[in-house]
Each structure stands twice: as C-alpha cells, then as structure tokens.
Structure 1
Amino acid sequence: MNWNDLEKHFSPARLGRYRAERGGDVARAATDYSSNVLLSEAMVPLLNVLEIALRNGIHARLSRLYGRTDWWESWVGDPAFRWQNKEVVNAKAKLARRHEAQTPDKVLAELTFGFWSSLFNTQFQTALWKDLRLVFTRCPKPQRQRHNISAALNQIRDLRNRVFHHEPLLWLTPTLLDQHAVGVTVINWIDPQLGQWLSIHDRLPSTWTGWVAT
C-alpha cells in the first residue's frame, strides 16, 4: 500500500508525525508506522499479565480487609471514594446493558486500570496502603512505598492508554523499552514466577530491537 493510500485510511494528521520524524521520507515513515503497530501488539502480553494480576491481588487484599468479596459496596456514600463509586456504577451499567449478572468477578473485570491505580493515590495512604502494600510482597522494602508503587502504576496506565488508543510509541521519553521494563519490575514485585512466565510470551524487547536496527 502506498503512502497516499495510507493517508486516505489513517489520515494525514495521524501519519504526519511519522513523516516529520523521517524528514519527509515516506517510505521510511510507512515502515515506522508498521513497526508501531507491531510494537503495540507486542505490548499486549505485559499489559494483560500486569492488569489481571494487579486487580486480583488487590481484590484478595480488600476482600480480607472488608470481609466481603464485593468490598466496593463498603464505600457507597463515602465521599473519599466518590470517583471510585462512580466507576463501579459504570461497570455495573455495562453489565446490565449486556444482561449479565453483576457478580463480584464480573464487576472486577469491568473496572478500568485507572480504577486500580487510583487506589494508590495519596488520599488512601491511611485507609488502604497498609493492606495494598501486601500485593507487592517481593518488592524490596526500601522501594515498597506508596508513592513508588503509585508512580509506576500511573506510568503504566498512561502507556496502556497510548497503546490502546493507537498512538505513536516509537519516540516516547522514557523509551518504550524502558517503560516496558517498569511493567516487568512491577510484575516481579507481585511474583517473580509470573515474570518468568511472561518472558515466554513477551516479544516486546525483540520487536523493539528490530525497529531500532532499521
């Protein structure tokens, strides 16, 4: 497919960044766009493993803390959890539209990565951190501070959004490879065996090396 066809389908605005980065060389810009698609694909295993392990770890800790598997119901009416309560309502609404049961497992699956990362915000230092820190049992104690966990999760959240909104990944600062490494670190903080399992499926490092070599 030639450059004009790519612009027709993907828009000049979307492809302009690639063209500008290559000084107007549309052949190299087209290669970069293809590479970006492959890098987005290669990020999925890490994002999948991290999000699911994170939410299940949080679910286990908060189920124990509140003594119920629908622990979010304990927040209803609490202004400290106003935003989180809205997210739960939205999750339930999605299930209702699909005529699915609003079981705890179903609600969990509908909640966004932004919901999970928000639980490590400053305002929950007293209410949640003592329990949520136990999600990251393999994080070295000097690093196992709420602000460190929060910063890492927010970085990964932003990257996740960029991946799933099909934005450029090639020229990020820190680089995509460095941000991927943050995700791997967080997974290893949860369970190093999970990090080893991910490495079998994770093609991001090799895909990145292939693009850098072009």
Structure 2
Amino acid sequence: MDWTDLEKHFSAARLGRYRASCGGDVARAAQAYVHNLTLAAAMVPMLSVLEIALKNGMHHRLAVRYQRNDWWESWGTDPLFARQQDEIAQAKLKLRRRAELATPDKVVAELAFGFWSSLFNKQFQGTLWHELRLVFPRCPKPLRQRHTVSAALNQMRDLRNRVFHHEQLLWLTPSLIDLHGRGVETIGWLDPKLVPWLAGFDRLPATWAAVRSA
C-alpha cells in the first residue's frame, strides 16, 4: 500500500506524527507505523500479567479487610468512594446488559486498570493503604510507600492506555523499553516468581532490539 492508501485508512492526523518524526520520509514513516504495531502487540503479555495479578491481589486483600467478597458494598454512600462506586455501578450495568450475574468475580474482572490504581491515591492513605501495601510483599521496604506504588501504577495505566488506544510508542520518554522494565519491576513486587515466568514468552525486549536496529 502507498502512503495515500495508509492515510485513507489510518488518518492523516495519526500518520502525520510518524511522518514528522521521520523527517518527511514517507517510506520510513510507513515502516515506523508497522514497527509501532509490532511493539504494541509485544507489550500485551507484560501489561496483562501486571493488570490481572494486581487486581486479583487487591481483590483478595480488600475481601480480607472488609470480610466479604463484594467488599465495595461496605463503602455504602461514603463520599470518599464516590468515583469508585460510580465505576462499580457502570461495571454492574455492563454485566446486566450482557445478561450476566454481577458476581464478585465478574465485577472485579469488569473494572478497569484505572479503578484499581485509583485506590492508591492520597485520599486513601488512612483507609486502604495499610491493607493494600500487603499486595506487594516483595517490594523493597524503602520503596513500599503509597506514593511510590501509586506513581508506578499510574505510569503503567498510562502506558496500557497508550498501547490499547493504538498511540505512538517509538519515541516515548522514558523509552518503551524502560517503561517495560518498570512494569516488570512492579510485577516482581507482587511475586518475583512471575518475572522469570513472564520472560519465557515476553517478546518486547527482542522486538525492541529488532526495531531499533532496523
């Protein structure tokens, strides 16, 4: 396909960022777009492992904290959790529209990464942090602070959104490989055994090296 065809299907605005970064060379820009697609695909395993392990770890700790699997029901109408309750209501609505029961496991699966990362915000320092810090048993003690964990998760949330919204990954600061490393480090805080397991099928480091040498 030539550049005009690509612009027709993927928009001049989207491809213009690649063209500008490649000094107007449309052949290089087209190849850069392909490289971006392969990098996005290679990022999925790390992001998936992090998100699912994180939400399940948090679900367990919050169930312990509130002594019920539907722990969010303990929040009632507390305005501290207004945003989170809205997101839970939306999750339940989506399940109803699919004729699925809103079981705790279904609700947990439906909630987005942003919901989980928001529970590390400053406003929850006195209510949730004491329990949620236990989600990261292998985080070095000097780093196991709410603001440190929150910053790492927000960075991964932004990266996840960029990957799944098909945004540019080639010229980020910090670089994609550095962000990937931050995600792997965070996974290690959850359970170090996950890190070598992920490495067995994680294609991002090799894909990044191949793209950079192309």
Q: TM-score normalised by the shorter chain: which range applies?
A: over 0.9
Cα separation, 1, equivalents of 2:114 and 2:72? 15
Q: CA deviation at 1:55?
A: 0.4
Q: Can you list the C-alpha shifts for 1:150-196, whole angstroms capped at 9, x where unaligned?
A: 00000000000001110000111101111111100000000011111
- Find the counterpart in structure 2 of residue 105 from structure 1: 105
Separation (CA, whole Å) in 2 of partners of 1:208 and 1:76: 46
Q: What are the superposed Cα offsets for residues 92-128 of structure 1, whole Å, 9 maximum, x if unpaired?
A: 0000000001100000000000000000000000100
- Residue identity opposite 2:143 in structure 1: Q
2:13 is aligned with 1:3? no
Work out whether 1:140 is the aligned partner of 2:140. Answer: yes
1:59-116 CA-to-partner distances (Å, cap 9, x unmatched) read 1100001000000111120000000000000000000000001100000000000000
Deviation per residue, 1:35-61 (Å, 9 max, x gap): 000000001001110000000000110
Following the alignment from structure 1 to structure 2, what is the Cα–Cα distance between the partners of residues 201 and 96? Answer: 36
Q: Which sits farther off after the overlay, 90-99 or 191-200?
A: 191-200
**CA RMSD between the two structures:** 0.6
Alpha-carbon distance between aligned partners in 1 of 2:88 and 2:168, rounded to the nearest angstrom: 31
| Counterpart in the other structure of 1:131 | 131
Q: TM-score if structure 1 supplies the norm length?
A: 0.99
Match of 1:81 in 2: 81
Corresponding residue of 1:185 = 185
Q: Distance in 2 between matches of 1:193 and 1:27?
A: 43
Aligned residue for 1:45?
45
Give, as a single letter, the amino acid of the residue that structure 1 aligns with 2:32: D
Note the residue ranges of structure 2 that are not aligned, 5 or more in a row. Answer: none
Shift, 1:211, TM fit: 1.1
Q: Quote the Cα distance in structure 2 between the aligned partners of 1:119 and 1:199.
A: 28
Distance 1:106 1:137 in 2: 26
Q: In structure 1, what is the Cα distance between the partners aligned to 2:19 and 2:76? A: 50
Q: Distance in 1 between matches of 2:17 and 2:198?
A: 32
2:193 partner SS: helix
Structure 2-normalised TM-score? 0.99
State whether structure 2 residue 167 is matched by structure 1 residue 167: yes
**1:149 matched to which residue of 2?**
149
Off by >3 Å, runs of 4+ in structure 1: none
Give 3-state SS (helix, strand or coil) of 1:202's partner: coil
Q: Is 1:176 matched with 2:176?
A: yes
- SS of equivalent to 2:209: helix
Q: Identity across aligned pairs (percent)?
A: 66
Aligned amino acid, residue 30 of structure 2: A
Equivalent AA in structure 2 for residue 72 of structure 1:
W
Alpha-carbon distance between aligned partners in 2 of 1:17 and 1:91, rounded to the nearest angstrom: 35
2:62, 2:109 → 1: CA distance? 16
CA distance in 2, matches of 1:23, 1:206: 26
CA distance in 2, matches of 1:148, 1:23: 38
Query: Does the residue aligned with 1:201 lie in a helix, a strand or coil?
Result: coil
Count of residue pairs the alignment pairs up: 214
Letter in 1 for 2:207: T
